[in-house]
Amino acid sequence: MNNKEPIEWTEEQAFKALKVFLESDDGIRFQKLFKEIDLNQEDLSVFMQDASRRQRCQSEQAKRWWASIQKFIVQNDIKYLAVIEPFAQNGRSPEDLYRALSKVYYPSGLVDAFSRCRARTSSSPLPGITKTKGWTDEQILERLEEIKIALDWENTTGSAKKWWEAFEGENTHRVALVLRLAEELANRKATITEFFLAYVYSNTDNIQANLSYLEYTRLKKEEERRKKEIAEKGKGKDIDQIEQDIKRDLSLEAQLLVFPPGITNIKGWTDEQILERLEEVKTKLDWENTTGSAKKYWEGFQRENNHRPGFVLRLAEELANREATITEFFLAYVYSYTENIQANLFYLDYTRLKKEEERRKKEAAANAAAERKLKELNKRPIGNNFTITESTISNLAGVQIDYAEAAEQVRSLIAGGSNLQQMTSIAQNFLEQLQSSQMAVSLDTQIELIQQIILSEAQKDKIFEQFLLLQGQQIFDTVSDDAITSAIQATIAQLRIGVVE
C-alpha cells in the first residue's frame, strides 16, 4: 500500500516486529538455511554484498524505518541474511516492504508486509490448478481425463453429460480452458452434474459466475441442514437461544478463512486497533452514502459482533477487495435468502459477474445492429451525375460550382454531426444553394453530390478520414429520417469497411 502519512516505529516496536518475524515459519526456515550452509568467510562476503545491494531505499521515510529494523541484526550475520532473503526470493526491496506496511502498528506487521510483497509478485497458479504453459494439447487432454474421474464422470448422465460434451466440443481449440474448469470443480470436490445445475439455475453463460453460484448454493444448503439439526437439538430451548446458536454456527467458517492479499492478519491487535482499521476500510465501502435498510443492517451486524470486531473487519475488507459497497452486499444478503456470510459474498460475486455478462451481450448486440445498419446504408449506390476536379464540380448539364467552397460546406456538415439541430440547419442552407444554382435539384442528386465530396476529401486528407472513422458512431447515433444525414452515414460506412480504395 502507498502510505500517505510517514510510518515510524519506536525501538521497542521495531524489536518486537523483528522478533515475531524471526520466530515465524519463514524466519526460522531462513535462519536454518544459512546455519546449515556453514558459510566460510569468502561465501559470507558474497552474501553480504548481495544483501547490501538489495537494501536501497528511495524515500527518506523508508530509509529511517528500515534503519530502525536493521540496527538489531547488523551484528548477527545469520539473522541479518534471514531477514534479507525474502527480498532476494521475491525481487523486492525495503522500500516495497515499507509501502506494504499497515498504518496501524502491530507486532506481526513485518510478517504481514513480507506476505503482501510475496503475494504481489507470485505468478504461480492456484493450489490444485495446473500450469499448462509449454504443454501440448495431448498432455492437457490426458490430464483432463484424469481429473474427470474425480468429477464423477462415469456416473454423469442425461443433460449434464450432453452439456459437458458440448462444452468440450466448443473448446477444442482451447483445451486448457476446459482443464481449468475441471480442476476448479475438483478443488471444490464438486461433480459435473452439480456444476450443470448451477449453470441452469444461475441463468448466465459466465463460467466464473456459475462457479460462484455453485459455491453459494452449496453453502446455503449447508446452512439449511445446520438450522434443521440445531432446531432438532434445541427442542424445548428458548427461540432466541436457538437463533444465537444458529448464527454462531453459521459464522464458523468465516473465522477459519486464510488471509489473502488485502486481508489483514489481526493477530496481536487490540480491539481499538481493529476498530480504527474498520473505520478506515468503511470509507472505501461508500459508508457516507449508505442509507435506509442497508445502513440499519450494517449497524445491527456490528452490534451483534461487537465482541469480535475482527470478524466485522474481515467482511469489510472482503467487500473492499471487491470494490463493492455496503448497499450492494445488503442486497446480496436479501436476495440470497441466507445468513451465511460466505454464501452472501459468493452470491454478490455471482450477481456482479452476471450483470457484467449481460452488459457485454447488450453491447455486442448493439454493435451488431449498428454494423447491420451501416451495411444497409452502404448498399446505396453512388451515381455518375457529377465530375469533380481539383477546382470545380460539374453536372451533366454543364453547370459548375467551386469545389473548395462546396467542400467547406460539407465539412461544416460533418463538424456539426454531434448536434442534430445545427447539422440540419447547415444542411438545409447548403441544399438551397445547390437548388438555386441548378447544380443538384432533386434530393437523390443532392445526396449523391454530398457523398462524392466527402469521399474526395477523405482520399486527399487522411486526418479528415480518421476523424470520420473515429466520430462515425457519434454521428450515427444522431441519424434520423433526414436523407442528408443518412448520406453522410453511408459514406462513413464505406470508409469504415474499406470500400473506398
Per-10-residue mean pLDDT for the chain, 501 residues long? Answer: 65 88 85 71 66 71 86 84 76 78 76 69 56 86 89 91 95 93 89 94 92 92 81 61 48 46 81 92 92 94 90 91 92 92 93 92 83 61 75 88 87 66 71 86 83 84 79 59 65 65 45
Residue 60 CA neighbour count, 13 Å, CB half: 0
SS (H, E, C) 310-321: HHHHHHHHHHHH
For the chain, what's the residue count? 501
CB under 8 Å to 423, separation ≥6 — which residues? 413, 416, 417, 478, 485
- DSSP structure string for 189-236: T--HHHHHHHHHHHT---HHHHHHHHHHHHHHHHHHHHHHHHHHHTTT
Tell me what pLDDT residue 248 has.
45
Widest distance between CA atoms in the chain: 105
Tell me what pLDDT residue 24 has.
85
Report the DSSP beta bridge partners of residue 392. Answer: 402
Residue 293 CA neighbour count, 13 Å, CB half: 7
Query: Distance of alpha carbon 390 from its chain centroid, rounded?
Result: 53
Report the DSSP beta bridge partners of residue 387. Answer: 394
CB under 8 Å to 134, separation ≥6 — which residues? none
Q: Compute the distance between CA of residue 218 and CA of residue 213 in angstroms, rounded to an integer.
A: 9
Tell me what pLDDT residue 74 has.
79
Tell me what pLDDT residue 4 has.
46
Q: How open is the CA angle 110-313-324, to the nearest 5 degrees? A: 110
Q: Are 382 and 451 in contact (CB under 8 A)?
A: yes
Tell me what pLDDT residue 169 has.
94
Tell me what pLDDT residue 329 has.
95
The type of residue at 400 is Q
Q: Compute the distance between CA of residue 439 and CA of residue 341 in angstroms, rounded to an integer.
A: 75
Q: Are 214 and 188 in contact (CB under 8 A)?
A: yes
Q: Compute the distance between CA of residue 305 and CA of residue 286 in angstroms, rounded to an integer.
A: 21
Distances (CA, A) of 145 to 139, 157, 162, 282: 10, 17, 16, 46
Tell me what pLDDT residue 256 has.
38
Three cell numbers, residue 231:
432446531
Q: Compute the distance between CA of residue 43 and CA of residue 407 in angstroms, rounded to an integer.
A: 79
Tell me what pLDDT residue 1 has.
41
Three cell numbers, residue 438:
441548378
